[in-house]
């Protein structure tokens, strides 16, 4: 039961953090050809998960699920990435959508790896 509560609380803080960061990024970064705010959030979250992953064996299960599933799971957003990609395609912005997909996928894997390696 404590793990379920940990996911719930982590999810609350992760989703809230993402929302606040989106507002900040929207004010600081001008609109470009790709949705940079969600890209940055997903890159940050992937880096964070990369940092958490090597530590999970030494953490209590409730902390593991709080961080990995709750906080970082709610902080990052594949559904918004998908929606924004389809919106670019719907607007016939095929090159922008290809750039967004490529940078998101390769970038998130790369930042996860950087976070992971930073903890070894």
Cα separation, 88 vs 42, whole angstroms: 18
User: What pLDDT score does 30 carry?
Assistant: 82
What's the average model confidence in pLDDT over 60-66?
95
Domain ranges of the chain: 2-118
| More confident site: 120 or 71 | 71
Q: What is the DSSP string of the chain?
A: -HHHHHHHHHHHHHHHHHHHHHHHHHHHS---SS-HHHHHHHHHHHHHHHHHGGGGGGS-HHHHIIIIIIIHHHHS-HHHHHHHHHHHHHTT-HHHHHHHHHHHHHHHHHHHHHHHHHT-
Q: How confident is the model at residue 32 (pLDDT cuts 50, 70, 90)?
A: confident
Q: What is the pTM of this model?
A: 0.93
Q: How confident is the model at residue 35 (pLDDT cuts 50, 70, 90)?
A: very high
Average pLDDT score over the chain? 96
């Amino acid at each position: 039961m404590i793990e379920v509560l940990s996911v719930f609380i982590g999810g609350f803080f992760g989703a809230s953090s993402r929302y606040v960061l989106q507002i900040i990024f929207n004010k600081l970064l001008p609109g470009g050809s790709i949705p940079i705010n969600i890209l940055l959030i997903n890159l940050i979250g992937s880096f964070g998960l990369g940092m958490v992953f090597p530590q999970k064996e030494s953490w209590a299960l409730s902390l593991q699920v709080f961080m990995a599933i709750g906080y970082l799971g709610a902080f990052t957003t594949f559904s918004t990435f998908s929606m924004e990609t389809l919106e670019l395609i719907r607007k016939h912005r095929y090159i922008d959508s290809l750039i967004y997909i490529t940078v998101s996928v390769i970038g998130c894997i790369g930042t996860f790896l950087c976070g992971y390696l930073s903890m070894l």
